[in-house]
Structure formats: C-alpha cells, structure tokens
Amino acid sequence: MSRKKMTSEPGDHGEPVVFPLLSVPGLDVMDVICHSGPDDQPFEEKNYYVSLAIVMEGTFKYRARRAPVLLSPGSLLLISAEDNFECSHEHVCGDRCISFQYEPAYFERIAADLGACGNPHKFSQDRLPALPPLIALSAEAQAGIAGPHVVDFEELALDLAATVLVELAESRVSPRSTTTQDERRISTTLRLMEERFREPLTLESLATFNGLSPYHFLRIFKQVTGITPHQFLLRKRLREAAQLLRTTNLSVLETALEAGFGDLSHFNHTFRAAFGTTPSKWRYMRFGKRYKG
C-alpha cells in the first residue's frame, strides 16, 4: 500500500497488480489486485504516504506497530506515514483494494480544515470495520471501478479522509485479541459469504459450517471483523445494489432481487437509511461530499 509503480502488468514474486484511477498533486488513487496466498512470503514495506485502502474483495492480515489485524470486504485499512508494515494471506488467496494515498502535507490540510486534533499522520488504529458511515463510500468506490467516469475519485478521497478522521476522534473501542485458528475460520467464512451473499445465510448455518455454537461463532466473528455476520451480509448487499444502480439499467425491484434482498420495501428502507436517499435518486445523483475544505 506504499506508493506503488503504476502498472497493469503482473507483479513479481506475489506483488500486486496496480491500475491507476487518479493522480493529482498530493493524491493518488489506485485499484490494487493481489493474487498472493498462504504459500507466498510476505514482504515488508515502508509507507511514505498516508494511505487509506477500502477492501473490496478477499481477506488478508496486516501487521505494523500494533498487533496484526484481519481485513475483510467493506473494512478500511489505515496506514500511517513512515510506518513499516507487511500484508500476508495466511488463510485464503487474493484480495482487491481501492487505495487512496495522500502526501502527508495534503492529508494534514484536510485534518486542519476539519479542526482535527493530534498528529493526523499517525493513526490510533490500523483498521476500521464496515461501519455505517463507510457504506456509501465503499459503494461509490465499487461503482467507480465497475463503470468508468461514474465517480469523482478526488471528491471521494476527500470525503473518505474526513470520515476517517471523524470516526477515529469518536472511537472508544479497543480491539480484542484473536487466535490464528479464529482468523482462519472467519477468513474461510467470509469467502463463503462473499460468494453466496444473495442466499439467506443464517447465523445457525454459518455456525454449523464452522462446527461452532451460534453464540461462539458470533463472538469470534465480531472479534475478528468488528461487525456481526448480519451486518456484513447487509452491507455487502447494499454495496452490490448501489453498484448495479449506477452501472446497469435494472429496475429498482430487479436490483433489490439481484443484490439478495427478498423484499422491495425492506430494500428501500435499508438503502435510504444507509445512503440518505432513495435507490432511484442514488442512480442519478452526483456523490455529495461532506468535506468542505
């Protein structure tokens, strides 16, 4: 996630393939696709920029100054400037992220315009789970890689930085430790949920898949990902629906069914709660940014 060379050629020795989406003074945005797996040796890197990466697909482990954390779809990786770090795939192969890389001075200006306190170059956490404020941002990024010219990535980068700074300022949650076995179980489960998110996956069925009681499965899922299985599925379906609305001509009903919502009324209510507007208006609206710097 350090500033990679802009290339669409296959990476060497498990290095990711990088597709540029935006490059302006102080900011680069790129689509990063990694095919590494458990047999590939992780590489340690040094990050010279403030980097925020929205995980679109797959899972991987990130290790820097703190205990390692597992990243899953919809979550956000936070990499401080001047940090040494490594990413690894201990349980499953591959991931895809939209990486926003800010020059430190550029990010510092955003923080100053927001009135943020402390050092904006050093994050207090390495990961934010798929929190409600990140749903629309993740969906916007997903629509941007699915449909060219659909998204203004510079506006999205500003809004993402502002959202992260606000969330970190308000966060009071301390991460809990997890075991390697827990992470392996949940990584496998997340891959299953990504592939079958349209199906009515119940807590009971997911727990049975892991050979655990529903209570034990729910507890470790929340510890590893920061959210519940229901929240993960709902937010995955919302991101899928938002992309379909922007990139296809499916009706709202067809979109709801294709994204895994069995009830149109429930879809409309859930979508409006997450995005602040109706599915029909989202299809044509310009993404509204909260950052006003």
**Structure confidence by residue, pLDDT tens digits, 2-20:** 444 444 444 555 678 999 9
Q: What percent of the chain has pLDDT over 90?
A: 50
Domains and CATH numbers, the chain: 12-170 (2.60.120.10), 180-284 (1.10.10.60)
**One-letter identity of residue 24:** V
pLDDT in tens, 119-175: 887 898 999 998 888 998 998 898 888 765 678 899 899 889 999 999 988 765 455
Q: Which residues contact 218 (CB under 8 A, 6 or more apart)?
A: 203, 207, 228, 229
Which of 38, 39, 102, 73 minimizes the C-alpha distance to 233? 73
Name the burial class of residue 13, with classes exposed (0-12), middle (13-18) and buried (19+) by CB atoms within 10 angstroms of its CB: exposed
Burial (CB < 10 A; 0-12, 13-18, 19+), residue 30, is buried
Question: If we measure between CA atoms, which residue out of 121, 109, 118 comes closest to residue 48?
Answer: 121
Q: Which residues face 70 on adjacent strands?
A: 61
Of 64, 114, 99, 66, whose CA–CA distance to 84 is shortest? Answer: 64
Q: Quick one: average pLDDT of 50-64?
A: 93
